[in-house]
Structure formats: structure tokens, C-alpha cells
A and B are shown apart, each in its own frame.
Chain A
Amino acid sequence: MHKQTIKQLMQGLRDKSFSSTELTQHYLNRINSLDSEINSFITITDELALKQAATADVLLAGDTKLHDLCGIPMAHKDIFCTEGVRSSCGSKMLDNFIAPYNATIIENFNAAGSIMLGKTNMDEFAMGSSNETSFYGAVKNPWDLTRVPGGSSGGSAACVAALFAPAATGSDTGGSIRQPAALCGLTGLKPTYGAVSRFGMIAFASSLDQAGPLAKTAEDAAILMNTLAGFDAKDSTSMPRDKEDYTAKLNDKLDGIKIGLPKEFFSDDLDPEVATLVNNAIKELEKAGATFKEVSLPNSEYSVPAYYVVAPAEASTNLSRFDGVRYGYRCDKPVDLMDMYCRTRGEGFGDEVKRRILIGTYALSAGFYDAYYNQAQKIRRLIKNDFAAAFNDVDLILSPTSPSAAFKLGEKTNDPVQMYLEDIYTIAVNLAGLPAISVPCGLKNNLPVGLQLIGNAFDDARVLNVAHQFQQLTDWHTLCAPFAKKG
């Protein structure tokens, strides 16, 4: 059962091959017996999941029109507020925080009748590319337990790769869905900024954050997007658009589609094995009728520098609300207010989060605003313009997702700059607010490598279409992590 896609599970539930309760119990059994080795969950919500499954089974037995996700178990990144369930964001700061409300996307999944198996591990406040900054410990990659699953949505990626859930939600600020999807052999979509509500998703960098799905296939990702996406009046940055069916274009043929290859992303610096796998993928797509063309994103070299100003700057003030006054961690026996603030935040945040708050505070402080923050926001416009120019010529842009495959646990923890360069191909997409997907395109030393497809704003359905068509031609996405064969 656990090897099936959402599409297959939907059929199984409707055919009464199994009930939602049986399916949910099956996943819970796997998680409870095997996750101690992976550490992909922070909280497992057995009781809630079975209650939701029982409700779903009643609906599945009835003759009302069913939502696609009715009875389908899911795992949610612990960045989303879930009413009555701890919502920790991977931090000691929120270890005791029981959210009193649901994020909009959680409300959407509840309304659809999907089942929440639990909350997944993540880099603390989504700051990291290896899931090693979590207060709840590192997550192991099911492809190789000595390696990282990527981050920040590392728990979500690992739990799907370990077949603990058919899919999971994630969030992507600089690559946090796509890079772990690549490193765990999954399909992960970062939707267009403004397509998915941010209300109830604990903010890292407001102008970059976007929630999205991690799934086994592009088709599953499209099904999930139908529930994830949609206008939300509670989020000022949510775009008022008509409800879209993200599965509608999946089967469109690729004849005549033009795909751009940014020369800056295919330089000599690119890992040769990754380059070979990406070139193989290009050949497959060409066979299906796609044409390729070199494009240029001349300002992409500035994207990592600009990102490491914008994201920490926004984060530094987004995280000011964690002050020990209304919820969350408070230090023991503060002598006065200043002591309470400084020790609460000194003890409640981990090193990476503190580092980014300090950088962001510095970048915004008097005398440096223009050189850092304002310059970064100007570069953002240049990067957006680069993409706009490229999309005059092509329908999509293709690149690697990540410089290489999964690296060893601890390999980059003492070198923040090396860690930041993990996101070198993904970050520009966030700065420009575009949709992008990572799909598996091969193995390097038995470790998955990801291919990134970038679309124009609100062209998410086309990105999913090309990814889906690629998955009709290849079977990299069907490969299973060795660990997943357990149980």
C-alpha cells in the first residue's frame, strides 16, 4: 500500500480495496516502528489521524461528491500552525507551543478530508539546507543514513522517501522544497509567490516564503496543489485569482514547447556527473518534441548574495515576536525585562537562527540599509527582469536543482558559506517569485539527482505538465530508497 501514489490510493479508497482507517493505520505503524532511524517526524498525531480517517471512511461510504484527497494520509511540515497540536518550527523556542488556530492550508486539507499523520522535522525556522539545525536533531536520508536529506523541508522529504506518507507539505524560501526533493528522489514544487496562502505558516522571509507539495510524482503534486493553492483574504500577498485546476494541463503534449538553458547555470563549475544526467534529461524531452535554446540570466551571480541580505533582514524582524511574553520559551527566573528578552532569545534560538538574526539586524541598521537591504532589493528587480527577458523567448527554463547529490551529515555544518551555496540554482526563483519544480533525473553513486524546471509567474500548471510528461518518459521517480524497502 505504502508504495502507491496518491492517484493510486484515491482509486483504492474508492474501490474499497482498503479503508482510510486501514491505510492510516498502516502508515502509522511504519512511522512508529521505523522513524526512530530517520527522525523525520517531530510529532506523530496517531489519535487525531485515526479520528480523521474514521470521518473520511463515513464520507467514502456515502454517495456525496468526494474531494480528491478524502481519506488520503499526509504529513505536514512543522512550520504550519495546527490547532491543538504542537507547532514547533523545529525550535526550542516553540517546543511547548500548541497552536490555537490552523494555517489556511491546514484548513484546506481538513476541509478536503485528508488525514494528518504528524508534523515533520525541519531546519529550525526553516533556516538550513541539511535539516541539521533542528532542535529535534538531524534527519537521515533514506537513500543513505549517513547523509542529509536536504533542507529545510528535510523531514517532509525523508518521510515521503521512506514511504511513511504518500506526500507531505513543505515550504520554500530559497530552495527548501526543491533541494530536499532532489536529494531524496522526490518531486517538489515551489509554487508562484502568492499562489498559496502564507497565513499560519510561521514566517521566515515573508517576501520569499511559499508553501508547496513534496510528492512521488508531478501528477500527485498537481492534485495536492488543487487543495494547497487559492486566494486567501487573510494574506495580503495572496493573489486574487480564480480557482485553478492544476491537473488540467498534465497531459498536454510537449510538441513546440521551448525550453531555455541558462548559460550561467551550465558553466564549467557544474559537477560533470550532474551535467551528464541533466543532458540525458534534455535528450528525453527533445524526443518528446521540446526544443532547447540557450538563454542568459546575467545577474544570477548576485542572487545568493542578495538572498543572504533579504532573507535574514526579513527574518530578523519576523522573529522578534518570539520574546517570551505571550507564548513559547521563556528563560528561567529573569531578573528584569532586558534579561528576560536576551536570555529567552539567546537560549531559545539555535546558532544558525541567531546568526541570521544578527546578519539581518546588521543589514537593516542605521548606516547600512542602503548598501545592504536596498541594494539587495534592487538586484531583485534585475533578477526578475532577467527572467522576464528570458521568458520572452522560451516557455520554461531548465537547470540542475542542486550542485550535487546528498552530502554527509556534518560535512558542511561548520561552513555556513558552503551550506548556503547548496541553493545556488534555486534562490533566484524565490527572489523573482516564480514557480519551479524539482524532479528526479538520475542517480549519482546511487544517490538521487534533481532537475529543476522554472516557469513564468502563475504558469505552475505548465511546469507540472512538463514535469509530468518527463515522468511519462523516464522512471527515475519510481526508484525507491533502500530504507523504504524495510517493513
Chain B
Amino acid sequence: MHSKQLFFTSIGLVKPFELVLEQTMSVTKDDIAKVAKLARIQIDAEQVPEITHGINEILSLVDKMQQADTTHVKPLANPHDATQRLRADEVTAINERDKLMANAPESDSGLFLVPKVIE
């Protein structure tokens, strides 16, 4: 949970909004490599420049957004501003392990298997 403090600190430090208005947002090849790792997507080194270029094109399209005056505007996460419905606390699922695990790339004794994890 201390990651919460961390998260806010980093946002606070960067103060992205004002900064961004002055310099147009763009990513470097290093940024792309970092983001790709965060997203667990392997990218061939020779593809990185092209991908970086493509993403920068899109970011410059997205940049227009910064011209909109959104002071005092509340973010809208759901189109209808709806609220959560609650479910009764009832067990409705039955054991369907064999059926649900039939697509598993690798399994044994009712467990999904992955390459050994070292904690």
C-alpha cells in the first residue's frame, strides 16, 4: 500500500500537465522499451524505431486534447454516471474444473503449470 505514496509522489514531481503544454508529448526509443517491458511484450530491436515513430504520430494526434479547457470538469468513467449494483452473497458456481482447464497450455494434477517462479 505504500506504493500509493510512491505513485502520488512521482506524479507530483513531474507535474505533467503544465510541462506538457509547453513541449509536445513524445516518446523516445528508451521509453518504448520500458513500456514494452511493463506490458510484457517482446519487441525486436529493429522494430523499435518504427514503433516509436508510429506512437509519436498518435501522440501528436492525442496532443490536441491538451487544448481543451477542463478546469472544474469531473472525469466521466461511465457514460451514464451509473452506480454499482450489488450481488446477493450466494454460491452459484459449481466445480467445472475439467471443462474450464481444457484450454490450459500446460497443466498437471488440477494445477496450471508455468515456468518455475522464484519469489
In the complex they form, whether A and B have CB atoms below 8 Å apart is answered with yes
- How many residues of chain B have a CB within 8 Å of chain A? 62
Contacts A325-B114, A345-B40; A367 near B54 (Cβ below 8 A):
no
CB neighbours (8 Å) of B87 from chain A are: 233
Flag if B112 contacts A236 (CB, 8 Å). Answer: no
Residues on B close to A: CB < 8 A?
7, 10-11, 13-14, 16-17, 20, 25, 27, 31-32, 35-43, 51, 54-55, 57-59, 61-68, 70, 73-80, 82, 84-85, 87, 96, 99-106, 112, 114-117
Task: Name the 9 nearest CB pairs between A and B, nearest first.
Answer: A433-B79, A346-B42, A377-B75, A327-B103, A330-B105, A378-B70, A381-B76, A341-B40, A342-B42
What A residues does B106 contact at CB under 8 A? Answer: 330
- Closest chain A CB from B107 CB (angstroms): 9
Q: Which residue of B lies closest to A380 (CB)?
A: B76
Give Cα A337–Cα B31 distance, bound, in whole angstroms: 23
B17, A370: Cβ atoms under 8 Å? yes
Chain A residues in 8 Å Cβ range of B73: 378, 381-382
Taken together as a complex, chains A and B put the C-alpha atoms of A309 and B66 apart, in Å, by 12
List 15 extra interface pairs beyond A301-B64, A326-B101, CB under 8 A: A302-B64, A305-B61, A309-B65, A327-B103, A337-B115, A342-B41, A347-B42, A349-B41, A354-B41, A359-B59, A361-B39, A371-B20, A377-B75, A382-B73, A457-B79
Q: Interface segment, A93-101, A107-115, A286-294?
A: A93-101
Partner among B37, B55, B84, B116 whose Cβ is within 8 Å of the Cβ of A355: B55
A interface vs B, CB < 8 Å? 96-98, 100, 193-194, 207, 233, 236-237, 239-240, 299, 301-302, 304-306, 308-309, 316, 323-330, 334-343, 345-347, 349, 354-355, 357-359, 361-362, 365-372, 374-382, 384, 416-417, 420, 431-434, 457
Closest beta carbon of chain B to A193's beta carbon, Å: 5
Inter-chain contacts of B59 with A (CB < 8 A): 359
- Which residue from B67, B80, B100 sits with its C-beta under 8 Å from A100? B100
A240 and B63 CA atoms in complex are apart in Å by 37
- On chain B, the residues within 8 Å of A346 by CB distance are 41-43
Can you list 28 pairs linking A and B with CB atoms under 8 Å apart? A194-B79, A239-B80, A301-B64, A305-B62, A305-B63, A325-B104, A325-B105, A325-B114, A327-B105, A334-B115, A335-B115, A337-B117, A345-B39, A346-B42, A354-B41, A354-B43, A359-B59, A361-B39, A367-B13, A370-B16, A371-B20, A375-B70, A378-B74, A378-B75, A381-B73, A384-B79, A417-B61, A432-B79
Are the CB atoms of A380 and B117 closer together than 8 Å? no
Q: A309-B65, A345-B42, A381-B75 are in contact. Are A359 and B55 (CB under 8 A)?
A: yes
Q: What's the minimum C-beta distance from B114 to chain A, rounded to whole angstroms?
A: 6
Q: Chain A interface secondary structure, helix, strand, loop or mixed?
A: helix
Determine the chain B residues whose CB is within 8 A of the CB of A431 once the complex forms: 79
Residues in chain B near residue A338, CB distance under 8 A: 40
Other-chain contact of B61, A304, A347, A380 (Cβ < 8 Å): A304
A194 to B116, CA, bound (A): 42
Contact A433 B80 (CB under 8 A): yes
Please name the residue on chain A nearest to B64 by beta carbon. Answer: A305
User: Of the candidates B38, B42, B61, B74, which one forms a contact with A308 in the assembled complex, judged by CB atoms under 8 Å apart?
Assistant: B61
Task: Report the minimal beta-carbon distance from A175 to chain B, rounded to whole angstroms.
Answer: 16
Question: How many Cβ-Cβ contacts under 8 Å join chain A to chain B?
Answer: 186
| A417 and B58 contact, Cβ closer than 8 Å, known pairs A326-B112, A377-B75 | yes
Residue of A whose beta carbon sits closest to that of B86 = A236
Is A299 a contact of B58 with CB atoms below 8 Å? no
Complex interface: chain B residues within 8 A of A98 (CB): 102-103
CA distance A217 to B78 in the complex (A): 30
Given A193-B80, A240-B85: A336 and B115 interface contact (C-beta under 8 Å):
yes
Q: Does B82 contact A239, Cβ atoms closer than 8 Å?
A: yes
Chain A residues whose C-beta falls within 8 Å of the C-beta of B54 in the assembled complex:
355, 416
Closest to B25 in A: A371
Chain B residue with Cβ nearest A342: B42
In angstroms, Cα B107 to Cα A461, docked, is 49
The one of A323, A324, A349, A379 that contacts B70, using a Cβ cutoff of 8 Å:
A379
Contact status of A361 and B17, CB under 8 A, knowing A335-B115, A355-B51: no
